[in-house]
Amino acid sequence: MERFISRFMTLFGYRAATNEDDMEGPGPNSRLIPFNSTDEEATFSRNKISTAKYNVFTFIPKFLFEQFRRYANIFFLCIGLLQQIPGVSPTGKYVTIGPFCVVLLITAIKEIMEDLKRHNEDKKVNSSECEVLDSQGDFVKKQWKEIKVGNIVRVKSEKFFPADLILLSSSEPNGICYIETASLDGETNLKIRSSHNITKELTSSKDLCKFDGHIVAEGPNRQLYEFQGNLVKGSDKAVPVGPNQILLRGSRLRNTQWIYGFVVYTGHESKLLMNSTKAPLKRSTLDKETNTQIVFLGCILVALALISAGFNELMQSNGNDIISYVGEPTGTAGLGFGWQFLTFFILYNNLIPISLQVTLEMVKVVQASFINNDETMHHVDENLGVDTYALARTSNLNEELGQIKYVFSDKTGTLTMNVMEYKKCSIGGTIYELDKPEHGSPGPDLIFDLNKGGDTSSVIEEFLVTLAVCHTVIPEVDDQGMTDRKSTRLNSSHAR
C-alpha cells in the first residue's frame, strides 16, 4: 500500500518521505529533494515551458471556438448551410460559404503566424544554456529544458536564473548575492540574498559533491515573497530555509561573479510561471460592440424576411402572379410560408456584409505590423544590452491600446524608469541649481559657498554627507582589482 501511495505521489510531482525526520517539512504537499542524488524516478515538472496559445492538437478546436464566439461567423455559417438546400436559395450554393471559408483560412494563417512567434520565444528560452554539476564533480553546459529538480547549477553575473533555486554559496563574502527582480515585480533596485551558514562554505565543485543532505521544500505555489523549507545535513537536525535564500526564475544575478544554486522548482511549477496564465482567448471592445450590432441587424433581417414572406403569402392567396425567385407554392400554407421566409432570409443576407470580417482582420494585421516596426517605440540600452522593438503578441487587441480606465501606482518606478537626475536642491533656504538660467543673473554657487567656510558651509557639508550615506552603492570589482564604475547600481534612495 505504501509503495502504491509513493508511486501515486510521484505521478503528481511529489516524493514520499522515507523516514520520520523527513516529515519535518512545512506542509502536507512538501517535497524531499536529496543532494547529489542519482534517482531518476523522481518525476517533478520538467523545466521546459510553453506560453503559446495553441499546439498541434488544440489549434482546430480552440480556433473554431474563438471564431464562433463572433455572431457574424455564426450568421454566415447558417446562411451558407441554408444555401445548400435545393429549391430554397435564390442564389448559388457557394456564394456565401466560399468567401466565409476564405475568411476563416486567412484568420487561421494570421493566428498561426502569431503563435509561431510565441513558440520561437519559448524555444529560445528553453534552449538557453546553464552550467550544471554532474556526478563527476564537473560543471557541464546544459539547456534550460534539461535542468531537473535536485540539480546544482552555477549562474554567473548578468545571467538569469533558469529555475527557482536555493542559494548555496557565492563569490561574495558570507555567501551573499545581489539580484534584480524587474521581470517579476518591476523593481529595478537590487535585492540582497544570503546563503545558509551550513552551505556558504561550499565554494568548490568538490565540496558540493561531498555534501550529504537533503532539502524538504513546500509544494509549488504562487507566493513570490514567501518560502518555507528545511535543510538537513547528514543526520543533523533540520534547519529552516526562508525567502532570503530563494532565487526565483526570472530574476537576474547582478554585481556578483557567480553563485551556486540548488534547484527546487522547475518549469510551470516555478513561481514565475505559476503567476502567469496561458494566453487567453481575449475579445476586444470592438469585437463585443460588433457582436451587439450584428444581433441588432439580425433582428432587422428576420423582421424583413417575415414581412416579405407574409406579403408574398397574401399575394399568392389572392391569385396574383407567382414571384419566380421565391419558388413554387406548396400545398400546405404554413410550410409554404416557412420556405418563403428562408428564401427571403437568404436573399437579404447582404444586410450583414461578409466583407466586414475580411476588412477588420486585414486592418488588424497591418496595425500589428506598424506597431512591431515603430521606431518611436524602439528601446535601446547599451549598458544592459537591450535593443528591442514593441511586440504585438496578438493583433486581436490593437484597438485596446490607450483605452485606460484605471491606473494604480504606489511610488516612482512603477510607471517610470526610476532614473533620477540631480536638478536643484534647497539648503538652508537657498536654492542651488545645476543648470544656470539663460536669462537673468546666475544663482548661488554650491561649491563656492562650501569652500568659503562659516555657518553656510557647515550646513552644506551636512546636507552632502546625509545625501551620500542615504544611498547604497555597490561597486563591482573585476579580477585585476579594478572597479567598474559603469556597473555601479543604487540599491535604495531615501534621502531625507
Distance between CA atoms of residues 229 and 215, nearest Å: 7
Distance between CA atoms of residues 202 and 199, nearest Å: 5
Q: Which long-range contacts (CB under 8 A, 24 or more apart) does 53-57 make?
A: 53/111, 53/115, 53/118, 53/278, 53/279, 53/281, 54/111, 54/112, 54/115
The CA–CA distances, whole Å, from 178 to 98, 130, 243 equal 61, 19, 14
Angle between helices 59-67 and 97-126 (to 10 degrees): 130
Angle at 208 between CA 206 and CA 210, to 5 degrees: 70
Q: Are 194 and 176 spatial neighbours (Cβ–Cβ below 8 Å)?
A: yes
How does 75-94 read in b/e, with b if 16+ C-beta sit within 10 Å? bbbebbebbeeeebbeeeee
* φ, ψ for residue 215, nearest 5 deg: -125, 135
What radius of gyration, in Å, describes the C-alpha atoms of the chain?
A: 34
Beta pairing class for 246-247 and 164-170: antiparallel
Provide the CB-side half-sphere exposure for 185 (13 A, CA).
Answer: 15
Active-site residue list:
410
Q: Are 93 and 332 spatial neighbours (Cβ–Cβ below 8 Å)?
A: no
Distance between CA atoms of residues 235 and 107, nearest Å: 62
Place of cell 457574424: 72
Beta pairing class for 424-427 and 386-388: unpaired
Distance between CA atoms of residues 447 and 444, nearest Å: 9
SS3 content of the chain, % helix, strand, coil (to 5): 40, 20, 40
Other Cβ atoms less than 10 A from the Cβ of 346: the count is 22
